[in-house]
A and B are shown apart, each in its own frame.
Chain A
């Protein structure tokens, strides 16, 4: 069946988890074959999230969907939905060094794409400011200036980690993916950036 093939491709996701995700997909898409951005409006829990827009955007980002072309997809089908969900797979016990590294890079790439909205492979100061403004968008009392200064301060920190001491003429263009990786060194996100399904065992009543 198609679902079992998908299970094999996605690695560790079990077939019952896929079935649950499929049911959820059908609920979101209202029984259509594809989901559009509007379908995500029906989730109350998501409304509270300040970066809701970016998360929904990430589902339609062709780079995350591992497609060759660039830009945004209009709608996604269940296979694409699973592809995005696979970025949030929990870590497995039997992974070796190389797999762990690849795992980690994939998750970080997903985050990187969230920041890099113009798809040029670099997070510029303006893009960073956009993200901070969005995070703080709910608070009407916060002036734009404070949001800016927070962004600028953090960008300078990032520059010092990635490039070291800059000369007075140097302009920091933006954070590339390699720099991004450097910044996250030491924080083990692969144990935190996942959605873990509860292990539901069938109840054995026989003795």
Chain B
């Protein structure tokens, strides 16, 4: 397909430039310096990871509260300078510039040559790639709506299922080409089977298209209005996707019941769920909501990792709306990602839903090379739940009382 060829050529050129650089390193040097000082996504301050008890014990003298206040003071300052959570809700910073202005946070004018290269890049992306991609996307969406409505007219049966699969796969492939997506699937033998639940980490709305490119899933989600609503109504005729009304989403039991019914029927396609509940910037995996893990059935974890060099797939929904997000995606170089299918997991006898969720999350994080954070993705918009705060504070006071009551007891016996 034409845009794919173009992006392939661009990728070649880019690699060419960077490999040229071993001999003539002016461009790479310039590219790196133009970003300014690269900050790795792990953070920019050195954090002391010794646990609270150990560190306080080290500082422990008779006047213990002074040392405690000092420990908390430092932790507080570290949190103010940089906190682990908020940085996950903004795009990852790149180590070397990929010629997109949007990733150039610290802009310094370096040289005329670089600017010329960048201008050529802009022209190629906006005038050549963008129109091609938009037209492909339009073709893809129209054919999906038309195709699924047509298949939906057929009576239920094997023919219908087969045709619906064909339609879904074809349209998905067209849409992936429209984004110039290059996807590498690993361990295809672990692909989700019928009657199972597929869980994956969530970075953007495109995740769903990336997965459906390689197989058919039953989507789960809220009913939307507009174009999205039309697509949803059309596709549900052909294939049993699970779309919830907004009011139904509030009722967790209803949701779980419907999903359970779907999973129990082994002839139905596997459901696709993103348990984080919100888009994270693809450097970490946040807390999985336990609802998906209470349904039962086999879980097929999938890890998705995007390569940030070619385009940033993360949707920062507080900064960009969906249209400007799609525009950014379609004017990047390409979307390159790796998808790993992990072996299926089942909940063990003695595990509850939360522990099971964490186990699945660790497997996904390990495979994708992402860090695990125990935080809730909902922190993007809401504040920390009081229950978490109390847990932490209880730990601390338990420790204090243990140390403190010993101290005060001895003081009392002395004064007697």
Contacts and interface: CB of A to CB of B under 8 A. Distances in A.
Interface of A: 16, 19-21, 24, 27-28, 40-52, 54-55, 85, 88, 111, 114-115, 128, 131-132, 135-139, 142, 146, 149-154, 156-158, 161, 183-184, 187, 189, 192-198, 200, 202-203, 205-207
B383 interface: yes
A205 B70 contact: no
A151 B407 CA distance: 10
14 contacts: A24-B81, A47-B384, A51-B69, A55-B77, A139-B398, A146-B408, A150-B400, A153-B404, A154-B64, A192-B70, A200-B40, A203-B95, A205-B29, A206-B29
Nearest to B384: A47
Contacts of A207: 22
Interface stretch (B55-63, B190-198, B251-259, B301-309): B55-63
Given A46-B79, A156-B411, A205-B29, 6 more contacts: A45-B78, A45-B85, A49-B79, A142-B401, A153-B407, A198-B45
B43 to A, nearest CB: 7
Interface in B299-351: none
Contact of A40 (B38, B78, B80): B80
Contacts of A189: 70
Closest 8 A/B residue pairs (Cβ): A138-B393, A139-B397, A45-B79, A206-B25, A55-B76, A45-B83, A153-B411, A150-B404
B37 interface: yes
A43 B83 contact: yes
A53 to B, nearest CB: 10
A196 B47 CA distance: 8
Contacts of B405: 146, 150
Given A153-B407, A197-B44, A192 B64 contact: no
Contacts of A151: 65
Interface of B: 21-22, 25, 28-29, 32-33, 36-40, 43-46, 59, 61-70, 72-86, 95-96, 106, 375, 379, 383-384, 388-390, 392-394, 396-398, 400-401, 404-405, 407-408, 411-412
B15 to A, nearest CB: 14
A86 to B, nearest CB: 11
B32 A203 contact: yes
B37 A202 contact: yes
Contacts of A157: 62-63
Contact of B73 (A28, A45, A114): A114
Contacts of B44: 20, 197-198, 200
B393 A198 contact: no
A48 B392 contact: yes
Given A16-B37, A44-B85, A205-B25, A150 B393 contact: no
Interface of B, secondary structure class, is helix
B402 to A, nearest CB: 11
A62 to B, nearest CB: 19
B21 to A, nearest CB: 7
A206 B116 CA distance: 23
Contacts, number: 188
Contact of B69 (A27, A41, A43, A114): A114
Contacts of B29: 205-206
A135 B68 contact: yes
Nearest to A206: B25
A77 to B, nearest CB: 16
Contact of B81 (A55, A114, A137, A195): A195
B35 to A, nearest CB: 9
B74 A88 contact: yes
Contacts of A161: 63
A28 to B, nearest CB: 8
Given A21-B81, A195-B81, A205-B29, A47 B383 contact: yes
Contact of B39 (A20, A52, A150): A20
B393 A45 contact: no
Contact of B77 (A88, A150, A184, A187): A88
A71 to B, nearest CB: 21
B26 to A, nearest CB: 9
A94 to B, nearest CB: 20
A206 B31 CA distance: 13
A24 B82 contact: yes
A27 B63 contact: no
A21 B45 CA distance: 11
Nearest to A158: B63
A60 to B, nearest CB: 13
A164 to B, nearest CB: 15
A128 B61 CA distance: 17
Nearest to B405: A146
Given A45-B79, A46-B80, A183 B66 contact: yes
Contacts of B412: 149
A89 to B, nearest CB: 11
Contacts of A111: 66, 69-70, 73
B86 A187 contact: no
A131 B389 contact: no
B180 to A, nearest CB: 27
A61 to B, nearest CB: 13
B21 A205 contact: yes
Nearest to B85: A44
With most chain B CB atoms within 10 A of its CB, the pick from A48, A135, A139, A158 is A48
B63 A154 contact: yes
A138 B390 contact: yes
